[in-house]
Amino acid sequence: MSSAPPSLRPYQQQAVTRVVEHFRAGDEPAVVVLPTGSGKSLVIAELARLARGRVLVLAHVRELVEQNHAKYRAYGLEADIFSAGLGRKEAGRQVVFGSVQSVVRNLDAFDDGAFTLLVIDECHRVSLDEDSSYRRVIAHLRARNPRLKVLGLTATPYRLGQGFLYHRHYHGMVRGDDDCFFRDCVFEQPLRLMVKQGYLAAPRLVDAAVERYDFSALEPGSGGLFQEAELNRVTAGHRATPAIIEEVIGHAAERAGVMLFAASVAHAEEILGYLPAGEAALITGGTPAAEREAIIAAFKARSVKYLVNVAVLTTGFDAPHVDLIAILRPTESVGLYQQIVGRGLRLAPGKTDCLILDYAGNPWDLYAPEVGSPRPASDTEPVQVECPQCGHANLFWGRRDGELVVEHFGRRCQGLVESGEDEGKGVQCSFRFRFKVCDRCGAENDTAARRCHGCQALLVDADDKLREALKLRDARVLRVSGMQLEATVNGRGLPRLKVVYHDEDGATLAEWFALETRAQRGAFAAAFLREHLRAPGSRWSPTTPEEVIREQRRLRAPDFVIGRRVGRHWQVKRKLFDYTGRYRRAAEAG
């Protein structure tokens, strides 16, 4: 007999309802996004209770396996645990809570074909690689039940180097690529709303009064992560460290629990040396399991006040009394930043807020969503860009001049539009902000596409276009170093916009545009603005050459211009933007 189930908060009940509705309609993998501290374990427990078949709940650390199992037992129901780290390998009951490492090594224990629901906690760890642990478990269960439902839960639904881990969002937008394993985000609870409604402690970011570390010159490695050797070069023996720790100790006087996130093991050991003896401890990836457990228990019991760690307590760690977070390392993404800060946002008796001290100059806004693509430059920020075709408000990296978005790096609209092809879920809007045109059929393709989506022709490589032009006697190729706009008149005295492209050696090519009639302005928008706008898709319709010149901050120059001789004159025939080939661009001149 089960006891009365725990009471769900309104947003938790909403999440459960959306998941049930989604899986009643189909079998596509789904995601629920809930901030750290929002009670994912309770949502998992309720879904496991409602499920008709067998349920497997996976997590990557044993602490999460224990937490999720405990919430399910709060219903008065029993479940098995399959985790070598917890000393149990049971898989006979209807509901099993397991660690992915143990389950993937013992797949034959999950052969009965009765599993109907697989729940993955911290599902941002699910890789696109089909040989990864999670994907192998999924494939094994699906082979025995092709209609297996797969649900992921996470606070940060993105992976470094991949972007969003799901394709569609229930608000009517595309977030990740079409090859994402998870198809739909069926519910998301914003962090700001959680704080506003009093379900999480308010984060209070305080500007550090002392010198900070300067990590601005560091670039993440090929995997998107900062290299420890590079981090050590910045932090080793840094003169700011003693003053930083002194300031942390000062702020901690009225605080209950302090977590410090170090850049490297050597950095963490130095930090530990400046903290009060007997009140601080250190955990790294190399800390033995028994010692780690003892340190965490002492911290939760508050016999240790300061806990220093190196990238090991960002998920699956629950200590509600933490009310001061000190960040002494750069974070590679807003997701990691949110995970770190989330360690201090759980509610606890007497806790009113969580102090956030950032000594690494991290550029992330805690409440801002991830954009999905890598940040192109440190001075870019998330900007909203309306699609001129479907009206969807896209979120891209970009730059502002006051309130005006003068540049963005979006490629395709993220909006979903109605279609009878996808069971009412809609398909991605076809409008492309940036594109390359197929020479055969004229279709606009993604800038990274190799074949045309319209006619399947192999798209001509930019280098091939340059090579071909360089071989022709009547062609001129400019490596563009500048673009000049001029208001002039033609031979009949009519106003024209003259655009002159310069290369490094002084050679030029020019083109002229009329803007007097609506048709001329439409032709100018299609032939010039469509490619030259730094913020393509902008609803900007200049009516005179002078207006174009006044607002030339909105425009970008091409990387290369190819001209052909027509009679005694040269005509611009092709312009190459966003060039990444083997030829040097003018901007790269040393």
Question: Which tokens belong to 158?
Answer: 């993105």
Q: Is the pLDDT of residue 587 over 80?
A: no
Percent of residues in the chain assigned helix, strand, coil, to nearest 5: 30, 25, 45
- Burial of 494: CB neighbours in 10 Å, binned 0-12, 13-18, 19+: exposed
With 70 as the cut, is the pLDDT of residue 420 above it?
no
Half-sphere exposure of 79 (CA within 13 A, CB side): 28
Per-residue pLDDT at 1: 45
> How much is the pLDDT for 370?
66
What pLDDT is recorded for position 517? 96
Query: How much is the pLDDT for 378?
Result: 75
Lowest mean per-residue pLDDT among 93-102, 365-374, 429-438: 365-374
pLDDT digits 0-9 by tens, 528-549: 999 999 999 998 999 999 999 9
Least confident range from 361-370, 405-414, 419-428, 490-499: namely 419-428
Question: What is the C-alpha to C-alpha distance for residues 194 and 202, in angstroms, rounded to an integer?
Answer: 9
Q: At a CB cut-off of 8 Å and minimum separation 6, what does 568 contact?
A: none
Give the whole-angstrom CA distance, residue 298 versus residue 156: 29
In the structure, what pLDDT confidence band is assigned to residue 574 with cuts at 50, 70 and 90?
Answer: very high
Q: Which residues have CB under 8 Å from 336's CB, separation 6+?
A: 156, 314
Residue 279 has pLDDT above 70, yes or no: yes
Confidence of residue 311 (pLDDT cuts 50, 70, 90): confident
Six-digit token string for 548: 């174009």
What average pLDDT score do residues 223-242 get? 85
B/e letters for 390-429, b = 16+ CB within 10 Å, e = fewer, are bebebbbbbbeeeeebbbbbbbbbbbbbeeeeeeebbbbb
Q: Is the dihedral of CA 137, 141, 144, 149 positive or negative?
A: negative
- Better-predicted residue by pLDDT, 208 or 246: 246
Higher pLDDT, 559 or 216: 559
* Span of 232-241, 242-251, 366-375 with lowest mean pLDDT: 366-375
Average pLDDT in the 27-39 region? 93
d(CA 396, CA 416): 16
Segment holding 139, helix H or strand E: helix 133-144
Residue 385 three-state SS: strand
- pLDDT average, residue stretch 515-526: 95
Q: How high is the pLDDT of residue 358? A: 94
Considering only residues 220 and 303, tell me which one the structure prediction assigns the higher pLDDT: 303
> Tell me: the pLDDT tens digits for 442-458?
899 998 889 999 899 99
What percent of the chain lies above the pLDDT cut of 90? Answer: 70
pLDDT tens readout for residues 73-89: 988 899 999 999 999 99
Mean pLDDT, rounded, for 162-175:
89
pLDDT number for residue 5: 67
- Check whether 164 has a pLDDT greater than 50: yes
Q: Long-range contacts of range 178-183, CB-CB < 8 Å, 24 or more positions apart?
A: 178/428, 179/128, 180/128, 181/29, 181/126, 181/128, 181/135, 182/29, 182/30, 182/31, 182/123, 182/126, 182/150, 182/152, 183/28, 183/29, 183/30
CA distance 390 to 115: 41
| Residue 369 in this model has a pLDDT that exceeds 70 | no
- Asked if pLDDT for residue 316 goes beyond 70, the answer is no
pLDDT of residue 407: 96
Mean pLDDT highest for which of 161-175, 329-343, 481-495?
481-495
Comparing C-alpha atoms, which of 149, 136, 78 is closest to residue 104?
Answer: 136
| 210 pLDDT more than 90 | no
Check residue 589 and give its pLDDT.
64
Band of pLDDT at residue 4, cut at 50, 70 and 90: low
HEC-encoded secondary structure of 230-254 = HHHHHHCCCCHHHHHHHHHHHHHHH
385 pLDDT band, cuts 50/70/90, is very high
- pLDDT value at residue 421: 62
The mean pLDDT of 172-200, rounded to a whole number, is: 92
**CA–CA separation, 415 vs 539, rounded Å?**
18
Q: For all residues of the chain together, what is the average pLDDT?
A: 91
In contact, 6 and 50? CB cutoff 8 Å: no
pLDDT above 70 coverage of the chain, percent: 96
Contacts of residue 509, defined as CB under 8 A and 6 or more positions apart, other chains included, come to 476, 478, 500, 501, 561, 563, 570, 572
Q: Please name the residues in contact with 103: beta carbons below 8 A apart, sequence gap of 6 or more.
A: 56, 58, 82, 109, 110, 137
What's the rounded mean pLDDT across residues 140-168?
Answer: 91
Instruction: Write out pLDDT tens, residues 290-304.
Output: 899 899 999 999 999
pLDDT score of 423: 60
